[in-house]
Amino acid sequence: MHRSDRSNAAPPPIPARIWKIAAVTGAGAFMAMLDSTVANLALESVRADFGATLPLVQWIVSAYLIALAVSLPAAGWLGSRYGYGRVFAAALAGFVATSALCGVAPGPLTLIASRVAQGLAAGLMVPAGQAVLGSTAAPNQLGRLMGTLGLVVALGPAIGPVIGGFVLEIASWRWLFWINVPVGAAALVAARNVLPRGTPNAARALDVAGLALLAIGLPLLLFGAAEIGSDGASIAPLLAVGIGGALIAGFVSRSRGLRHPLIDLRLLRGRIFGAATVTTGLTGANMYGGLLLLPLYLQLAADRSLGETGAMLLAMGLGSAAVLPAAGALTDRYGAGRVALVGAALLIATLLPFLAATAPSTAALAALLAARGAGLALAQMPAMTAAYASAGAERMGDAATLVNIVQRVGSALGAVALAVAVAHAADGAGSRVAGSRVAGSDGPAGTAGAYTIAFAVLTAISVLTLLPAAALRRQTSAVA
């Protein structure tokens, strides 16, 4: 039977050994995601402590996120060459060590350099952990495991600012990094006793040129997209996106003719893996495009305060968190395709009210955003589960690396598409968006109407998400 086979019968319980593996790999992923946002509130404290400029210390955040994308392309090859468990343990040890280096950094440049090293370790740790879990768990266990881990990982970026604010109230900013050390050390000890080391494959050669293309192209694309989302489409970020996209295209073209490519792109020829991976990319575009559009819409068109906007976005996060464990159980019981299709349909349904000329009420906004968060969870997590279940243990490292890359590229393209649409919306309202203010608008109702095009773009992305989700539903049903 195929690895993606499902039945409507209740799946068997997951052994304690598998849950222990999930706990260890989940701890690493949680720390990696937590550190993507935990330092945001500390920038002013670091600047004052070192007497540095704000543009310089902002690289404490940016350098980590860029480094994540630099090391990600090598994760699959390293896992195949040395074993996924060994790569995860080495990356976790590196993450703990570099966290300590961040904690003792004597100046801003050494702190930024330590954050680069920390990001490089995190970029390997997350996909290696997913590969360990995917290669040891049975297909009808992955949904529940991924749903639980998804909840834990989603909490990392969400509570990062909360933890950061609490630590800064009672201690130095250095403790934001020191807190990783005991948690990471405990995970390392557990990893030695719990994680399978993996089987090394010395015959797999490293495609150095392919690694260079992807390790440069992916960060350029993500950096350019982030800059366009925050500051608009100026020359520098557009060049970054263009060059990054060209390098990624060059990697794809080069890999087709290689016997031992850096990442086995033939995985995408599998109907289930291909449909599932495209679904994760489009849900990434949905998520990050929405995160760019919704704060502006809530403040400028719906006339909500910063506090109300934060609460609305929290409702979306809570909607995802509440649904993820149930989505995992439903995936194991009914199949990833059915659950992902429901999630994609929910994404469309929750965007339709935003196409109206007037903004919904406060209660309606909260309900819509909570339901949107649920839709994102129902669409993305089952698709990732189906991709890993269809890949096979021997190609799990390539599968985890490829899914993560496609998800990040989709997120970048979604952010760019919505940045352009938002700029058009601002012009349509007779306004100019600069930071978080609008001048010359004709009131919230008129501005809400101007955002119709931006929400139409986001709705179109959601409709596109429905197509591979429907294909995934057909393919998983065909092998059941």
How far apart CA 236 and CA 447 sit, in angstroms, is: 29
Q: Report the CATH architecture of 266-480.
A: Up-down Bundle (1.20)
Give me the pLDDT at residue 8, please.
65
Give me the pLDDT at residue 479, please.
59
How far apart CA 318 and CA 345 sit, in angstroms, is: 19
| Domain 12-197 of CATH type 1.20.1250.20 | yes
Which has the closest alpha carbon to 450: 433, 420, 430, 471? 430
Give me the pLDDT at residue 432, please.
41
How far apart CA 126 and CA 88 sit, in angstroms, is: 8
Give me the pLDDT at residue 436, please.
40
How far apart CA 428 and CA 450 sit, in angstroms, is: 5
Token representation of residue 9: 């019968």
Which has the closest alpha carbon to 400: 79, 110, 127? 127
Give me the pLDDT at residue 90, please.
96
**What's the angle, vertex CA 104, arms to CA 103 and CA 107, rounded to 5?**
105
* DSSP single-letter state for residue 434: B
What count of other Cβ atoms lies within 10 Å of the Cβ of residue 426? 22
Give me the pLDDT at residue 5, please.
43
Give me the pLDDT at residue 122, please.
93
Give me the pLDDT at residue 383, please.
94
Give me the pLDDT at residue 6, please.
44
What is the secondary structure of 11-41 as a DSSP string?
A: PPPPPHHHHHHHHHHHHHHHHHHHTTTTTGG
Beta bridge partners of residue 437, listed in sequence order: 434
Q: Which residues of the chain are under the pLDDT cut of 50? A: 1-6, 430-443, 445
What is the secondary structure of 282-338 as a DSSP string?
A: HHHHHHHHHHHHHHHIIIIIS---HHHHHHHHHHHHHHHHHHHHHHHHHHHHH-HHH
How far apart CA 432 and CA 118 sit, in angstroms, is: 38
Give me the pLDDT at residue 317, please.
84
Give me the pLDDT at residue 347, please.
96
Find out whether 27 and 181 touch, Cβ atoms under 8 Å. no
Q: In what helix (H) or strand (E) does residue 279 lie, and over which residues does it extend?
A: helix 271-296
Give me the pLDDT at residue 279, please.
95
Give me the pLDDT at residue 2, please.
44
Give the total residue count for the chain: 480
| Single-letter amino acid code for the residue at 411 | S
Which has the closest alpha carbon to 211: 263, 246, 249, 259? 263
| Greatest Cα pair distance in the chain | 66
Token representation of residue 477: 């049903």
> What distances in angstroms separate CA 385 from CA 88, 379, 391, 404, one per listed residue?
20, 11, 10, 12
**What's the angle, vertex CA 34, arms to CA 300 and CA 412, rounded to 5?**
55
Give me the pLDDT at residue 308, please.
84
Token representation of residue 411: 């997120």
> What distances in angstroms separate CA 225 from CA 34, 88, 188, 433, one per listed residue?
22, 29, 35, 18
How far apart CA 418 and CA 405 sit, in angstroms, is: 20
Find out whether 70 and 120 touch, Cβ atoms under 8 Å. yes
